Structure 1
Amino acid sequence: MKQFTILLFAVLCVTTGCSVGPKPIDYGNVGCHYCSMTIVDKQHAAQLVTEKGKPYNFDAIECMMNHLKDENEATIALFLVNDFDQPGALVDATKATYLISENIPSPMGEYLSAFTDEAVAKETRTKQGGELFTWMEINNRFKL
C-alpha cells in the first residue's frame, strides 16, 4: 500500500504541479516575489518559471529584472512579461520589445513596459516618447 501511495503521488506531481509553463497570476490577491506589493497592474506584471515549474510573480518588470541580478538564469525555464497592449497576457520576455517612457508609469517607477509587437512599441513611443530596448539591452541595463 505504501508503494502505491508513493507511485500515485509521483504520477500526480508529474501530471499536474510539476509542469513547466505560464501560471495565471491572481491579480489583486498575490504579492510580488521581489517587493511584496500586491500585483494589480495587468500591463506591467511579470513571471519567472523555473525548470521545475515553480512560478515567481512580480508586480513590475523592473522587480523581475532586479531579482535576476541574484538569480542563476540557467535555472529559469520561462521569462514572461505582460504585454502592455494586451493587459493580462503573459508573453515571452526574451522576444518582447521594451519601452521606457516617463509618460507611462509602471508600479515601481521605472516607466518600463513590454510589447509583443515591435510595431506597436514603436507607435506607442511615437505617441508617448521614450526609448526602445531589446531583451538583452534591458537585461544588461538592470545588471549595471
Structure 2
Amino acid sequence: MKRQIFVIFFSVQLVLVSCKVSPEPINYGSDVCHYCSMTIVDNQHAAEYVTKKGRAYKFDSIECMMNDLRELDKAEIGLYLVNDYSAPGDLIDATLANYLISKNIPSPMGEFLSAFGNLENAKFVQSEQGGQLFSWEALKERF
C-alpha cells in the first residue's frame, strides 16, 4: 500500500514539474532560431515563447517569433518573451514590452525591430534614433 501511494505521489510530481511554463535561457552562439534556423547570437533582439505544456521555442529576432506566431493556435502559448534592448540578455514579458521600429537600429532579420521593458527607455532611444513606437497589440496587427 505504501509503495502504491509513493508511486502515485511521484507520478503527480513528475507531471507537475514537466509541464512548468517558465523561460528557458537562450544559449547565444549555439541555440538555433526555430523559424529561420540561424544561430542566435544577438542578445538585444532574441525572443522566445513557451507553450502551456512547457516547451520553449527560441528565435534570433522578434520578427521571426512574430512570423512564426501567424501559423499557431495562440491558445497553446503560455508565455511570450523578448530581449530588452536596453538590458542585453534579459528576457522580459513581450505582452508588456514597448517596441521601436527604427531604420537606425538593425535587427537580425532586417525589420529594425527592438523591444524595451520601459517606455521611457523606448522614448529616449526613439528621440536619438527616430522610428515608430508600438505596443504588443499594435505589433501583432502589423505582423
Q: Verify same fold: TM over 0.5.
A: yes
Cα shift at 1:14: 2.6
Query: Deviation above 2 Å: which 4+ runs of structure 1?
Result: 4-15
Higher mean alpha-carbon deviation, 18-27 vs 48-57, is at 18-27
Amino acid at match of 1:11: Q
- CA 1:6/1:108 → structure 2, altered by over 3 Å: closer, same or farther? farther
**RMSD over equivalenced CA pairs, Å:** 1.8
1:30 aligns with 31
2:59 aligns with 58
CA distance in 1, matches of 2:137, 2:66: 11
CA distance in 1, matches of 2:134, 2:124: 14
Cα shift at 1:18: 2.3
Ranges in structure 1 where 5+ consecutive residues have no aligned partner = none
Q: Which secondary structure does the structure 1 equivalent of 2:95 belong to?
A: helix
Q: 1:94-133 counterparts in 2 under 5 A?
A: 94-133=95-134
Q: 1:14 aligns with which of 16, 35, 42?
A: 16
Cα shift at 1:11: 3.1
Cα shift at 1:7: 6.8
Q: Do 2:19 and 2:52's aligned partners in 1 also have CA atoms closer than 8 Å?
A: no
Ranges in structure 2 where 5+ consecutive residues have no aligned partner = none
- CA 1:100/1:24 → structure 2, altered by over 3 Å: closer, same or farther? same
Q: 1:40-79 counterparts in 2 under 5 A?
A: 40-79=41-80
1:72-131 per-position Cα deviation (integer Å, ceiling 9, x unaligned) = 111100011000001111101011000000110000000000000000000000000100
Q: Structure 1 length normalisation: TM-score?
A: 0.90
Cα shift at 1:134: 0.4
Which one has a bigger Cα radius of gyration? 2
